[in-house]
Amino acid sequence: MSVGNSIPHDSGLGHVCGESVFIDDRAETRGEVHVGLVCSSIACGDLIEIDASEALRHPDCLGVFTAKDFVHKKWGTIVHDQPFLVEDKINYMSEPVCIVASRTRDSIEAIKHLVKLQEKAAAGIFTIQDARKNQSVIYRALKPFVQGNVDQALKMAPHKLTGTFTVGGQEHFYMESQAAVIYPLENGQLEIHSSSQHPSETQRTVAEALGLSLHQVVCVVKRMGGGFGGKESQAGPIAAYAALVAQKLKKPARLILTKDEDMKITGKRHPFQNEYEVAFDDDGKILGVKVLLQSDGGAYADLSASILDRAMFHFDGVYYLENVHIDAVCYRTNNHSNTAFRGFGGPQGNMTMESIIEDIAHFLKKDAAVVRLRNLYQGPNVKTPYGQNLENNMLPEIFRQLITTSEYEKRRVEIDKENLKKTGVLRGISITGTKFGIAFTARFLNQGNALVNLHLDGTVQVSTGATEMGQGVNTKIQQIVAHGFGIESGSVQVMTTSTEKNHNTSPTAASSGSDINGAAALKAVNKIKVNLIGLARKKFAGEVSSALKEYELEQNAETVPLDPNFIFQHGKVVELSTKKEISLKELISIAYQNRVSLGAYAHFKTGGLGFDKEKVEGKAFNYFTQGMAVSEVSVDEYTGEVKVLRVDLLMDLGRSINPGIDRGQVAGGFVQGMGWVTTENLFYDERRNLISHSPTTYKIPNIQDTPREFNIHFIENLNNDCNVYGSKAVGEPPLLLGSSVWTAVKHALSYRSKSNMVNLTSPATGEVVLMELTRLKRSP
């Protein structure tokens, strides 16, 4: 059967051969216009004047467009506060100011340089500390998460630590930059081809910007060359820029950002600076913890409120906190407007707790793994700080297995001995965990729809609102549909995502793409199967021949459950009680000739969800994807260079739909998380120009940075029954485990600390590590 097999990614061959079509691979059409953006050269201040006179005299310039050309001037996913183009106030460096249209791509840069901007700079706010002093706030948590009596615990505990955990942002670094091609159609319609994780949001953003109705705009997404959250909201205005040109000039318009432009203009992962107090006993048991999560939202709201909420939900990590107080605030700065990124705030919350655990272990001079086990969620139905039961808790079993299979205890002893030799290379080892809640925290987004068409030759076309960005969601949906009909996966084609086929789609985000859209597709499959089973039942009873006698089904495919007496397998429909069977193709032919529907639309919503932020109660997540990683590193004491020697990773993914794709997601997610906490640093000059805006200056992990030994395993869990075919989401959870590399670095540095705590910020670049080593060695 298709589900559970590691079939190849549906676009794998095309990617390798260079045949996969991305936005800029689309052939130019006659009269197509190329679009460019002119951006601000200050981070904060006033836009006095735009002088486009010279640009308009360029022979290839077809127009220069400003904020006044948009019908609606602002956009935003939650709050419409971000201008499409600067009207008067400039709020971050490289903020788009105007649009240029060119006959050729080669002329865009020349035309852009002919546009003269008169700007007046003002003092900006660039740090969380400055924003806090100025009370520059985007969003405050409606209510803190409170459990137990934290103040009493802090007062009575034998030990207490206070500190600040600082973690930087991260560039998405998708291979395909933001891109859109727009085709004007009849009656004022527009067809958008966008590299977008959220086709419906892109459709709405363009329609609002240009004063169109939604039925006049169609957004099409074949695939993206990576997304990681960066194309959830911020693809919308990119499409709007090109759409404005297409509408004004009545010509197809193409906007493809260069990598440098993309990195300068678009938002990143939110930097956080979290302040905490923690109380604990002699064994390292946490008796109480109070934390204030503080994020840098940048210039505009974007998705910052929801990201901050997710950080609160994931602060506890894999640890039970009997007495806890979690509060949060997102500050407005004059940085690029930060946005969704794989993990969506969860990593910034989760990593804070892991850092605290490491500090407790160092303070008590205990093995951090022992402290982690002491605080681990134990048993079924234990309460999270937001009042949800942790059902199907696999964490103790994952911990036990991983400690054994990774030989943690033996290696820890070896590391203790090795670090006494003072060879100039320190080693460190650490285990961290993830308990990632699967669902959108905005309940209305937990819905999807699918259209399934069964053709006369037994092949299937399926359309959903999911978008393929390399993560394999189309392949999983292909397998789900094939499994449902009992046919080979190659007989199923997942079609290009389009808002004319699947309306009001949710973004492919929150690790829910396969869950929501796969469940909707299976629901549509089952509707068709109800009709086919009804027909097979009559056929086996002799009540209908191939097409000699038309009949009416006496059942409603919407409400009638599948009859378990009939199974679809190996291209046949079998009645188990009589052992009678008929080929699926023959049954399809009979259905068609008797005017029985062979297509179905289905809508799916995740049941049982509903979290009240005001009351801090309800079910925030459908289930939790759980896992742990043990990472070992070496640290060069003379250069600060970090090498990842070995990683052992164990995940609970329920019953995997495609183990091969899941393995790739786990490996990729971990390495991306590892890069965030070790090498990926955002550098700015004194004017707030982003210096690290290209592959030459921004350091993502390369093949030499990946673990020398990388062991990935899945734990068997057959008890997950709340998702399609018992599977669990995999996109974001493994990224959080990348923090184990950072905590392993912190553990290594602790061997050079006598009484002082290790004050390690993230990312732990070579410079940061070397500075901390120097401080520790100089401390008394």
pLDDT tens for each residue of 296-345? 999 999 999 999 999 999 999 999 999 999 999 999 999 999 999 999 99
Cα–Cα distance, 400 to 396 (Å, whole number): 6
Residue 265 has pLDDT above 60, yes or no: yes
Compute how many other C-beta atoms are within 10 angstroms of the C-beta atom of residue 391: 13
Percent of the chain predicted with pLDDT > 70:
98
CA 435 to chain centre: 15
As a whole number of Å, the CA-based R_g of the chain is: 28
Give the residue from 266, 246, 248, 80 showing the smallest Cα distance to 169. 266
Supply 489's token pair. 């996966």
**What's the pLDDT at 756?**
79
Strand-pair category, 324-332 with 145-147 = antiparallel
CA 691 – CA 593 distance, rounded (Å): 66
Q: How far apart are CA 681 and CA 700, in angstroms?
A: 9
Residue-level length of the chain? 780
Q: Is the pLDDT of residue 127 over 80?
A: yes
pLDDT greater than 80 at residue 559: no
- Distance separating alpha carbons of residues 649 and 429, to the nearest angstrom: 13
The answer on pLDDT for 42 being more than 90 is yes
Residue partners of 471: CB distance under 8 A and separation at least 6: 513, 661, 665, 731
Type of residue numbered 406: S
Q: What angle do helix axes 368-375 and 346-364 make, rounded to 10 degrees? A: 120
Question: Is a pLDDT exceeding 90 seen at residue 128?
Answer: yes
Q: 333 forms bridges with which residues in the sheet?
A: none
Stated as kind and residue range, the H or E segment containing 530 is helix 513-540
- pLDDT over 70 at 177, yes or no: yes
Contact (Cβ atoms closer than 8 angstroms) between residue 734 and residue 728: no
How does residue 119 score in pLDDT terms, banded at 50, 70 and 90? very high
Give catalytic status of residue 632 as yes or no. Answer: no
Q: pLDDT category, 553, cuts 50, 70, 90?
A: low
The residues with which 297 forms a beta bridge, in sequence order, are none
Q: Please tell me the predicted confidence (pLDDT) of residue 545.
A: 60
CA distances (Å), origin 261, targets 13, 207, 665, 690, 724: 30, 25, 28, 11, 40
Q: Which of 418, 367, 315 is nearest to 630 (CA)?
A: 367
The tens digit of pLDDT for each residue in 488-527 reads: 999 999 999 999 999 999 999 999 999 999 999 999 999 9
Label each residue of 652-677 as H, E or C.
ECECCCCHHHHHHHHHHHHHHHHHHH
> Which is it for strands 642-652 and 709-714: parallel, antiparallel or unpaired?
parallel
Bridge partners, 435 (sequence order): 626
pLDDT bucket at 557, cuts 50 / 70 / 90: low
Closest alpha carbon to 498 in 526, 472, 461, 470: 461
pLDDT in tens, 693-729: 999 999 999 999 999 999 999 998 888 888 999 999 9
Tokens 């209510």 belong to: 143
Helix, strand or coil for residue 729?
A: coil
**Mean pLDDT of the 752-770 span:** 93
Helix H or strand E encompassing 418: helix 408-420
What does the pLDDT look like over 367-415, one tens digit per residue? 999 999 999 999 877 899 999 999 999 999 999 999 999 999 999 999 9
Sorted by sequence, the CB contacts under 8 Å of residue 150 that are 6+ apart come out as 288, 289, 290, 323, 324, 325
Set 581, 637, 680, 732: catalytic member = 732
User: Quick one: CA torsion of 740, 745, 747, 753, rounded to 10 degrees?
Assistant: -160
pLDDT tens, position by position, 615-631: 999 999 999 999 999 99
Residue 555 reports pLDDT greater than 60 = no
Q: Hunting for tokens 């009804």 — which residue is that?
A: 534
CA distance 470 to 225: 7
The Cα–Cα gap between 730 and 445 comes to 19
* Phi/psi at 624 (5° precision): -120, 130
The token pair that represents 553 in the structure block: 């089904």
Q: What sign has the CA pseudo-torsion 403, 407, 408, 409?
A: positive
pLDDT of residue 755: 74
**What pLDDT is attached to residue 547?**
46
Looking at residue 548, what is its pLDDT?
44
Q: Extract the tokens encoding 208.
A: 């609002």
Quickly count: other Cβ atoms within 10 Å of residue 777's Cβ.
11
Q: Considering the chain, what is the average pLDDT of its residues? A: 96
Per residue in 84-115, pLDDT tens?
999 999 999 999 999 999 999 999 999 999 99
Helix (H) or strand (E) holding 36: strand 33-39
End-to-end alpha carbon distance in the chain = 65
754 falls in which pLDDT band (50, 70, 90)? confident
640 — phi, psi (to 5°)? 80, 5
- Helix orientation angle between 473-485 and 513-540, rounded to the nearest 10 degrees: 20
Cis peptide before 158 (omega within 30 of 0): no
Orientation angle between helical segments 739-750 and 346-364, nearest 10 degrees: 20
| Token pair of 123 as six digits | 């003092």
Asked whether residue 125 carries a pLDDT value surpassing 80, the answer given is: yes
Rounded to 5 degrees, what angle do the CA atoms 360, 362, 366 make? 90
Sequence letter at residue 75: W
Residues 6 or more apart whose CB falls under 8 angstroms from that of 643 comprise 633, 634, 636, 708
pLDDT digit string, tens, across residues 148-170 = 999 999 999 999 999 999 999 99
User: Whole-prediction pTM value?
Assistant: 0.97
DSSP 215: G
Other CB atoms closer than 10 Å to residue 241's CB: what's the count?
Answer: 27
